[in-house]
Amino acid sequence: MKHVALITGAGRGIGLGIAECLAKDGKDIVVCDVHEESVVAEAMAGLRKLGAEVLYCRADVTDAMARKTMLEQIKAKFGRLNVLVNNAGVAPKVRADILEATEESFERLIRINLQGPYFLTQAVANWMIEMKKADPAFAGCIINISSVSSTVASVTRGDYCISKAGVSMATLLYAARLGEYDLPVYEIRPGIIKTDMTSAVTAKYDKLIGEGLLLQSRWGHPSDIGRAAAMLARGDLAYSTGQVIMVDGGQTIHRL
């Protein structure tokens, strides 16, 4: 029986890159995003061409009822869920100095980037525990997509950094809680990835990369994150719960 993976924010960008790699690996795919299905229809068709059975769930991860409805849809179609990838996230609408940034922006990022995934994980974890108790051979895992910003201070987007630092702690918390059920929880920490989110700062990062910011002198791509997620979802690091996979081109290596 094929494994089923739910990837939030997978209509485009990193999430779609992850979905494509998991589909290539033989998994059926549930895509969660906030767009009308027509907006992501081409992406969904591409996943089906890769051999996956695909379910699209239009859901806002900050909405408790939407999360509940989405899991009910997954149960109705597949009856199981083996992989949760918490990828959905946003950047601040305005990069503002922390001496001037607004509470509205802070609350928005915390709700989308941290609170929603945290409680989606809670619901999925409880379902996975049920499946594990019903079938000891059940294999499941949870993968959180954070950012190098969880440890690298950026004073013009403190709200983003704090939300991603929270995701890092959520990884540790759920890894600790789910260890007894052999349900590993991982974190992938991307660096500078070429997506719609980074398109507004392309010139800035082109310059920094050209000046040697990264050990591997190129932008990262969604497929770089996708391949890391596929490795974890396959169970290649089954004895490494709570670990962080850095996919940042060597950005965060301290150098003299």
- For the beta sheet containing 185-190, the strands, ordered from the edge strand earlier in sequence to the opposite edge, are 54-58, 28-33, 4-8, 83-86, 141-145, 185-190, 244-247
- Among 160, 174, 205, 239, the one annotated catalytic: 160
Exposed, middle or buried: residue 214 (CB in 10 Å: 0-12, 13-18, 19+)? buried
Q: Among this protein's residues, is 181 annotated catalytic?
A: no
Query: Distance of CA 114 to CAs 90, 161, 193, Å?
Result: 10, 11, 20
Query: Both ends of the chain: CA-CA distance in Å?
Result: 51
If you ran DSSP here, which 8-state letter would residue 102 be given?
A: -
Just list the catalytic residues. Answer: 160
